[in-house]
Structure 1
């Protein structure tokens, strides 16, 4: 008899394989699919985040926020595919800076049946730092997703869902919210009066003085400085 953990993560891996075949022509490399909570994020992709102990080869990670599992299979499945597009762009395209969604990303999303939207609704911006999406009726994603409800694909339905109910799992915080809540200097200014935005691969943002060395415990990677985002007198 399979254990609970084995069943849960085996299903996630098989879902990745299914959408890889249906939407990406099996182009994507094998990837570790994980469940982990990240405040205000439905999911994230981290390139080469895992390394083999014996062989030394590296694998990407796609992580889904388990809180989004209560929002319906269509949403969190599309979140998985959204992150798979990030993986496709890393392996075959030209990704922009960390967590930025450029025109190439938007085009690939639409090609596989997801409409990028900053609001998650029609009319939202297709490119930007914070990006949600919605499903395109008649698009490849919904066709593939709806096939899972048939009897021969029941094994692809996740056996355990998060019991916690959430309204929305996407990063919809404003830049002002980020500056106030995630600053590394909550009470004082740097000597220059300027603060710089630092970012990590999973999308966390921190504002602080120049020259900081920061490490993200979520994705186990260093923050990098974004010199294009400098603010004066944020306190």
Structure 2
């Protein structure tokens, strides 16, 4: 049974909002030089978004790039963070057309310099002190930088994201609490949508439909996962305490330290 209001089209609404954000940041940060691309929503594991050059072709044989955003994070990370993901991928699109991309997934120095010039600091950990280049890269906003200025002008207009994934993973909630964006003071969109909208908080259930809604979870508490079946493989999962998206598998009782942020890995099962 659908709960949408008559006359609304969630598909049109969602993609129109993403296109509005793309057009705004194109003008504000890239001087309107970026070509059109195809924006998609993809639940790719272990990534918040990606850029794929010339991924789609038309019936006439024309091609267009793809920027994909993972909607699993929308409700539980700050709106500023979602906009960072979009602009991060737009920087890849800029480099594809006006620069020299690194090999494969490598984020090279040219990309890092472009990111800094538009007000986003590249960081392998998503926190100050991370590496500026590498295969797996995050970023954080520069205080007073061009990105935050452009983001504020977007968020004070009629812009919003209307639709959110109800079943994010627990690690998505943890990421939303630990981002630099979530620590910004006096910035619109610096808190997760579930914190700003009680109705949304009552609908979102991290971990799946059988779990309790985020509105019933204590502030700062990451919803606990249901009791897992005994692990018969003698291998357990470890997650970095400072880089929530970084995990490894290994034998019990390992003592692992992250080479990027220096935090210890925590056993999850």
Q: TM-score under structure 2 normalisation?
A: 0.61
Q: Which moved more, 1:1-10 or 1:109-118?
A: 1-10
2:246 corresponds to 1:173: yes
CA–CA distance in 1 between the matches of 2:32 and 2:8? 27
Match of 1:9 among 11, 15, 21: 15
User: Is residue 49 from structure 1 mapped to residue 55 from structure 2 by the alignment?
Assistant: yes
Q: Is residue 133 of structure 1 aligned with residue 162 of structure 2?
A: no
**Contact between 1:13 and 1:32, CA under 8 Å: does it hold in 2?**
no
Name the CA distance, whole Å, in 1 between partners of 2:151 and 2:167. Answer: 23
Q: Is the 8 A contact 2:51 2:93 kept in 1?
A: yes
What is the deviation of 1:172? 3.8
Q: Which residue of the partner structure matches residue 66 of structure 1?
A: 71
Question: What's the CA shift string for 1:84-121, capped at 9, x where partnerless?
Answer: 00000000000111110110000000000000000100
Task: Check conservation: 2:91, 2:111, Cα contact below 8 A.
Answer: yes
Give, in whole Å, the separation in 1 of the partners of 2:52 and 2:175: 22
Shift of 1:171: 8.7
How far apart, CA to CA, are the structure 2 residues paired with 1:95 and 1:78?
19
Query: C-alpha displacement at 1:149, in angstroms?
Result: 2.7
> Is the deviation greater in 156-165 or in 34-43?
156-165
CA RMSD of the aligned region, Å? 1.8
Match of residue 109, structure 1, among 112, 115, 121: 115
- The gaps in structure 1 that reach 5 residues or longer are 181-235
In structure 2, the residue matched to 1:98 is 104
Large movers: runs of 4+ above 4 Å: none
Match 2:126 to one of 114, 120, 123: 120
Any conservation in 2 of the 1:130–1:172 contact (CA below 8 Å)?
no
Give the drift of 1:158: 1.3
Whole-angstrom CA distance in 1 between matches of 2:124 and 2:142: 15
CA distance in 2 between counterparts of 1:14 and 1:65 reads 17
State the shift of 1:48 in Å: 0.5
How far apart, CA to CA, are the structure 2 residues paired with 1:171 and 1:50? 32
Structure 2 match to 1:76 = 82
Structure 2 SS opposite 1:99? coil
Please identify which structure carries the higher strand content: 1
**When the two structures are superposed, what TM-score results if normalisation uses the length of structure 1?**
0.69
The alpha-carbon deviation at position 68 of structure 1 amounts to 1.8
CA distance in 1, matches of 2:99, 2:117: 14
Equivalent residues of 2:24, 2:154 under 8 A apart: no
